[in-house]
Amino acid sequence: MLLHLLGRQEPGGRCLVTHGTLAAEIGITRPKVTRALQHLGFARMVWKEGNGAYRLSPLIAGFRTPAEQLQASGAMDDDDRFDHPDFQERYEQQIEAYEEEKQAKAAERQRRLEPPIDLAARRRT
């Protein structure tokens, strides 16, 4: 996914593309595109800017000149840098939090499938 985005980017790292287009171009399903983009986001390599708009980290994006890249990477927040001391730990924490959230949502959906309590029947007994 990352290599494909690198090939599609505008100067500065902006990519205008939908999940459906990415899925068709790469030959994978849309859920796999979503998952790949989430993990690239967890790793701070790609940021979502809006519907169908993504931005590559200035550390990996292509620019028109080296000076533009230096300026963009110099303006980055230290937390977004790949050499941050807690980079790996934060990545793993984000994945863990995402998995916990996914499990909680699945449990909530399962609870909604249970039939509602029949209060009238309880009152009769």
The answer for 61, left when phi > 0, alpha when psi is -120 to 50, beta otherwise, is beta
Task: For 54-75, write each residue's pLDDT tens digit.
Answer: 999 999 999 999 999 999 999 9
- Checking if the pLDDT of 110 tops 90, the result is no
Burial of 42-81, coded b for 16+ CB within 10 Å and e otherwise, reads bbbbbeeeeeeebbbbbbbbebeeeeebeebbeeeeeeee
Residue 79 banded pLDDT, cuts 50, 70, 90: confident
- Checking if the pLDDT of 120 tops 90, the result is no
Regarding pTM above 0.85, the answer is no
* C-alpha dist (Å) from residue 19 to 3, 23, 37, 48, 53: 15, 6, 9, 12, 10
Q: Cα–Cα distance between 125 and 122 in angstroms, integer? A: 6
pLDDT above 70 coverage of the chain, percent = 90
Tokens of residue 42, six digits: 């967890």
- Checking if the pLDDT of 123 tops 80, the result is no
Which pLDDT score, from 0 to 100, does residue 125 have?
A: 59
Which pLDDT score, from 0 to 100, does residue 61 have?
A: 96
β-pair partners for 50: 53
What does the DSSP 8-state code read for residue 13? S
- Checking if the pLDDT of 28 tops 80, the result is yes
Which pLDDT score, from 0 to 100, does residue 108 have?
A: 86
Q: What is the mean pLDDT of residues 22-39?
A: 95
Residue 35 banded pLDDT, cuts 50, 70, 90: very high
CB 72 within 8 A of CB 12: yes
Tokens of residue 36, six digits: 């790949």
